[in-house]
Amino acid sequence: MWQRVFSVIVLLGGAFPAAAQPANEPIKLTIRPAAAPVPALKYELLPDGKDLTPGNAAQLYYRAYSPEWYSWVKAPGMAEKIEKALQTPLHELAALNLNFLLTDKLLHEVDLAARREYCDWEFTPRIKAEGLGMVLPDVQGFRTIAKLLAVRARLQMAQGHFDDAVYTLQTGYALGRHVGDAPIFICSLVGIAIAQVMNAQVEELIRCPGSPNLYWALADLPRPFVSLRKAGGAEKLWLEAELPIIKDLDVTRLGPQQQKALLEQMQRLFQPSSNGHDSDWQASLVLLVGAIKAYPEAKSALIAAGRKPAEVEAMPVLVVVTIHSLQQYRQLLDDLLKWHAFPYWQAAAGMWQAQKRVHDARINSRGILKEGYPFIQFLPATQKIFAATAVLERRLAALQCIEAVRLFAAGHDGRLPATLKDITEVPVPIDPMTGQQFGYRVEGDKAFLVGEGPSDLPPGMNAVRYELILKR
């Protein structure tokens, strides 16, 4: 359990854009007027349907991990060299001797995978069978592949090969979509992180003299870019994998052997390292003591929900508490997940209230973790994961705004719009985190685009700031 929780916490940090400048400093972009391409979708940031081939992308993504292709990635000093290449100005990239990435077999295989018709990681049956014990040794590696793609895109930009750079961005964004479209929140966060790596390269492309305008390419991306629907639904699967006996617990009367099986399954779930007679006995005692403490509240709750008092009193203590805890888990999980159907600015208040109910269900009035309500401890921190999707959506919307500004300048003698409302050629997207227009002001040949708030998120997540320096 704790490995799973820790992994989500660590990945949350990687899902948010890592800026080279301090959190309050704007990202500086030198921009030039750029009209919309003709046809409008000449450039796309996901592979076009005509380029898709039959088959499952997952097979090719895993083929990219072949030792003959992937081993050089782990060579001493290579990780540091790749990180340096992501920060090095384009005109200095050649000195790093990374041009082999332009024809690398590993990345070619990823290109092919990104252009398959579908991607199925086949995780759902594994979750049903393995529950929390399922490990994900492969997922983090896709973040490394995203960085390799980012460096390749930068090399292509440095050579002025913008069509090739867009092709690489298509691969990267498709990789993010594919990785994020899995029934595990960790995969959602990795998919978001990959998309953020690609967003940084879109910024780099915008800086390049003569780069194409990507307004319509950004507008054409699916929203939300990474959906949490599949991962949220899978949260209802793992518990039955860990405790098969609870599947029909609401309608089945457990006999002595089934009650013993329930205790053993609960013990394995909450004391997975228990492997000796004494530790088994101690784990069982802890569960039973906790159940006794929670029994009065659980008994009253089941009766209040419509069960006959005599029926509840006839149940073993552990069964009563397990049923009540299971009902709480399902209700609270649904209260969290239901908000995923709305944009962040509409969902945030309700989701934070739902998270407070989770906190209150976990912690008693003295600030101590409640005993006897085990399943509630497994509820995911979905409000933070949902916020990560909103941070991604905001950055995509801000990039689209910047391209709208470049498009306006192309049609108005190279001038910046005084306000975003002056842009009438195309719709200007709103900030998906606040539901309001982005902040925008002009100072000479500079414009500042800002999305502020919400205040309930930490610095680095709650704002996006760009300083646009216009060159004609």
How far is residue 328's CA from residue 164's CA, in Å, rounded to a whole number?
52
Q: Would the CA dihedral through 302, 307, 312, 315 be positive or negative?
A: negative
Contacting residues for 317 by C-beta, under 8 A, at least 6 apart: 288, 291, 292, 295
Residue labelled with tokens 């999980």: 333
**What pLDDT, on a 0 to 100 scale, did the predictor assign at position 276?**
47
How far is residue 351's CA from residue 335's CA, in Å, rounded to a whole number?
8
Domain positions in the chain are 2-234+383-470, 259-379
How far is residue 111's CA from residue 51's CA, in Å, rounded to a whole number?
11
In a 10 Å sphere around its CB, with 0-12 CB exposed, 13-18 middle and 19+ buried, how is residue 314 labelled?
exposed
Contact 146, 194 (CB under 8 A): yes
**What pLDDT, on a 0 to 100 scale, did the predictor assign at position 32?**
97
Q: What is the DSSP string of 320-333?
A: HHHHHHHHHHHHHH
pLDDT in tens, 191-204: 999 999 999 999 99
Q: What is the DSSP string of 178-237?
A: HHHSSSSHHHHHHHHHHHHHHHHHHHHHHHSTTPPP-HHHHHTS-SSSS--HHHHHHTTT
pTM: 0.90
**What pLDDT, on a 0 to 100 scale, did the predictor assign at position 343?**
93
- Nearest Cα residue to 166 out of 50, 51, 45: 45
**What pLDDT, on a 0 to 100 scale, did the predictor assign at position 439?**
97
Q: What is the spatial order of strands in the sheet that 464-470 belongs to?
A: 27-31, 464-470, 446-451, 439-443
Using DSSP, state whether 176 is helix, strand or coil: helix
How far is residue 225's CA from residue 276's CA, in Å, rounded to a whole number?
48
How far is residue 435's CA from residue 429's CA, in Å, rounded to a whole number?
10
**What pLDDT, on a 0 to 100 scale, did the predictor assign at position 460?**
66
Mean pLDDT by 10 residues, the chain (472 residues): 41 48 80 97 96 97 94 94 97 96 97 98 90 84 97 98 98 98 95 98 98 98 95 86 78 76 75 52 68 88 91 87 88 93 92 89 70 76 90 97 98 97 97 95 96 74 90 88
pLDDT in tens, 385-406: 999 999 999 999 999 999 999 9
pLDDT in tens, 75-102: 999 999 999 999 999 999 999 999 999 9
Q: What is the DSSP string of 379-445?
A: ---HHHHHHHHHHHHHHHHHHHHHHHHHHHHHHTTTPPPSSGGG--SSPPPP-TTTSSPPEEEEETT
**What pLDDT, on a 0 to 100 scale, did the predictor assign at position 262?**
78
In a 10 Å sphere around its CB, with 0-12 CB exposed, 13-18 middle and 19+ buried, how is residue 145 labelled?
buried
Other beta carbons within 10 angstroms of residue 305's beta carbon come to: 11
